[in-house]
Amino acid sequence: MGSSQGHGRHRRRAQRPLSEHQLFFANGGLGILAGDGSLDYAPEGIIEAYYACAVIDPVGLTLDYQFVANPAFNQERGPVHVMAVRAHVQF
């Protein structure tokens, strides 16, 4: 496995500002990804933790967990827990 794929535990944190479409959604607007007519705006916060390891020489595996507070900037929804497994094969 290449030098860019190492073992270890990692953490990240991100916070996104409010969307420019606040008024549309606050007035009951509906959208494919956000907006259900019940909005109470707050900053969206995401914390991610993952563990990457080399399984065999060309194959790496990553276990991932993400916690999303106020998804789509809405205090009325969430929090959301996202778990994933990723595989990396280097040819």
Contact 48, 16 (CB under 8 A): no
Beta-bridge mates of residue 28: none
pLDDT at 3 over 50: no
Which pTM value belongs to this model? Answer: 0.61
Confidence label for 2 from pLDDT (cuts 50, 70 and 90) = very low
Mean pLDDT of the region 78-88: 94
Q: What is the dihedral of CA 60, 90, 58, 11, to 10 degrees?
A: -20
* The pLDDT of residue 63: 96
